[in-house]
Structure 1
Amino acid sequence: MTQAIRDGLAVDVFVSASPEGPAALHRAGLFGPLRTIAWNRMVLVVRPELEAPVEDALALLADPRWRIGMSTPGADPGGDHAAAFLGRLTTTDPGRWQGLRVRCASLYGASLPDPDAPPRSPAAETLREGRADMLIAYATTADRIARALPGTRILSLPPHLAPPTEICATARFGGPEPARRFFEALQGPACAEILRRHGFLTAPVQPG
């Protein structure tokens, strides 16, 4: 998305699941300072009916029987955060985690969704179609998967390996007044309440 905006995509307010894109647009002089409006976290999403009663996420990840899916690093912040988690994890015990990355595949998130297409969850489709046994994904994505696929299990990942991720917003310099007001509203209490209802952790409101 960041590159698409650089290339001329008409965007006045950019909300991203990573601070890197908004920060890059700010450094380029196209957008103003970024503001953190919420936080998310990474979890392990286990497909329904997987014959693995273990409720420990790391034990499941260590089991060589299971195929692990994730979003696409470099194209989607969810993939970047999953890759960062894997990087931290594998350094804790290289012997135990040898071969883990071979079982991990980027199965969705490589391209922007079609805004005119009906809403869909590529992550849920990945589990429904049996292309992975479990996913490393956002907690908010996991909640949507669980609603679509009853019996899905959501397991926490150690916070020192998967710290909360920032949801950031920024507004284009010289953008229209409605965009400026929308950007301000994103930092307010009404938006924070909406984000909480959808499973996000709300960050302190940034000063104006």
Structure 2
Amino acid sequence: MKKTQAILLQALLSSTLAASTCLAVAQQGPAAPVITIYTAGSMSGALGAITRQYTRETGQPIQLVSGPAGALLDRIEHSAKADIFVSANMAHPQRLTAEGKAAPTVVFARNRVCVAARPDVGVTTGNLLDKLLDPNIKIGTSTPKSDPGGDYAWELFAKAGALRPGATQTLEAKAQQLVGGAVAPQVPAGQNPVKYFMATRRVDVFIGYCSSHEPTPDTTLTQVELPPELAISADYGMTVLDSQRNAATRDAVYRLALYLMSPAAQSVLTRYGFTAVAPQ
């Protein structure tokens, strides 16, 4: 764990269980309060597995609310009830920390940006930029500002422009913002949006994350790593929201937050394509 991460985590610890120095997970009673986690949609699969594991071990009920992290931040700032916030970037939870609405923000996990494509498109790491700039290739992205995934796509476009003059403007003009926005195209219930837009030929490639919602990667699409000159990493931030809680609820929230940083929880992240930050 990097020094800055260790300092942030220490600050989180010191601001939490003031009356308790035990970091072990305690069993919850039958009347344990429900803990609500607001989480970036890309983390919902892994975090769902972790919290189900925690509930089995402790009996602690947990509610996950997932969606675009920017939209979740807006809800929290407008008084939505959340105990823990996990974002696909550091900026959103750090904003809550700076506003005095949350504890120090820590790096919860790391991710990378990848490009998903139908196999027939023939995208590889070596030809990725050529394919993205091909006028016949349709590009899908998340929505910038509302969803960090969209912000990372625009960061990729900026890097492309540094390599090839005019590429940034070309890619921004081609990109279809299909998920994560306030208004998004309809997707049939139960279907994965990216797979649906690929299958219906609305897009040929989609710029997203290397992680997955399932521990078994989807082999129906090709996932391509970005070349080194275009590579983008994504740090996921976590913070505990300040709210009017009794002592028992406060301790329960912080016990869960500490568990999320434990090797037992972090080992689950790797099965979903994330990079853990806690020692394994």
- 1:172 matched to 2:246? The reply is no
Q: In the aligned structure 1, how far is the partner of 2:183 from the partner of 2:111?
A: 20
Q: Which residue of 2 aligns with 1:199?
A: 273
What letter is aligned with 2:252? P
Q: How many percent of aligned residue pairs carry the same amino acid?
A: 28
Superposed CA RMSD? 2.7
5+ long unaligned stretches in structure 1: none
| Deviation per residue, 1:30-77 (Å, 9 max, x gap) | 101111121111111112433x46552122112221011100001111
Change (3 A) 1:111 1:177: farther
Question: How many angstroms does 1:78 deviate by?
Answer: 0.7
Match of 2:206 among 99, 115, 135: 135
Alignment of 1:48-197 (within 5 A): 48-50=119-121, 52=122, 56-95=127-166, 99-111=170-182, 120-141=191-212, 147=218, 150=220, 152-173=221-242, 176-197=250-271
Question: How many angstroms does 1:111 deviate by?
Answer: 4.1
Q: Secondary structure at the match of 1:194?
A: helix
What letter is aligned with 1:197? R
Match of 1:43 among 114, 127, 130: 114
Higher-Rg member (1/2): 2
Q: Contact 1:62–1:97 (CA<8 Å) still a contact in 2?
A: no
Question: How many angstroms does 1:29 deviate by?
Answer: 0.5
Change (3 A) 1:182 1:54: closer
Question: How many angstroms does 1:123 deviate by?
Answer: 2.0
Q: In the aligned structure 2, how far is the partner of 1:25 from the partner of 1:140?
A: 26
Change (3 A) 1:141 1:187: same
Q: Which residue of 2 aligns with 1:16?
A: 87
Q: In the aligned structure 2, how far is the partner of 1:66 from the partner of 1:6?
A: 39
Q: In the aligned structure 2, how far is the partner of 1:49 from the partner of 1:125?
A: 16
TM-score normalized with structure 1 length: 0.84
Aligned residues: 199
Higher helix share: 2
5+ long unaligned stretches in structure 2: 1-71
Q: Contact 1:45–1:142 (CA<8 Å) still a contact in 2?
A: no
Q: Contact 1:19–1:167 (CA<8 Å) still a contact in 2?
A: yes
Question: Deviation above 6 Å: which 4+ runs of structure 1?
Answer: 142-145
TM-score normalized with structure 2 length: 0.64
Pick 1 or 2: higher relative contact order, CA cutoff 8 A, min separation 6.
Answer: 1
